[in-house]
Amino acid sequence: MLVVDDEKPCLDELVYILSGQENIEIVGAFTSPREALQASATLNPGVAFIDLIMPNLNGAKLATELLERNPALKIVFVTAYRKELARIRNSPAVFSLLKPISRLKLQEFLRRLPD
């Protein structure tokens, strides 16, 4: 899994919760979407958790660029703003989670995430 959030405390919290889950391997965690994009070529993640609202390169654009490199990648947008999810209906993300993310909420989500 790849995790991208420009807010370090949010990134750390999501990485912490994800790392406590069974069969989860975090291959990279980034506060910079551009660094995540560069690293994705060598990391080859199967799933990317991406904050939707980030400066310079927003989550929707990052997802599009990641999918150009890896069409099989599952994109999960993570945001605190439900309204923003409605704005990106045509985005490449198939999944979304609203912040704050609890361990229980994440466990349930991961169970429903297709292989």
pLDDT tens, position by position, 74-105: 999 998 887 777 666 666 667 888 888 989 99
Query: Which alpha helices (H) appear in the chain, and where do they start and end?
Result: 8-19, 33-43, 59-69, 82-87, 103-112
Query: What's residue 112's pLDDT?
Result: 86
Residue range 8-19, pLDDT digits in tens: 999 999 999 999
Tell me the per-residue pLDDT of 21-71, one tens digit each, with 9 for 90 and over: 988 999 999 999 999 999 998 998 999 999 999 998 999 899 999 999 999
What pTM value is reported for the model?
0.90
Per-domain boundaries in the chain: 2-106
Indicate the fold that domain 2-106 takes in CATH. Rossmann fold (3.40.50)
Query: For residue 35, what pLDDT is reported?
Result: 97
CA distances from 79 to 11, 29, 68, 69, 97 (A): 12, 16, 22, 23, 7
Selection from 50, 46, 21 nearest residue 33 by Cα: 50
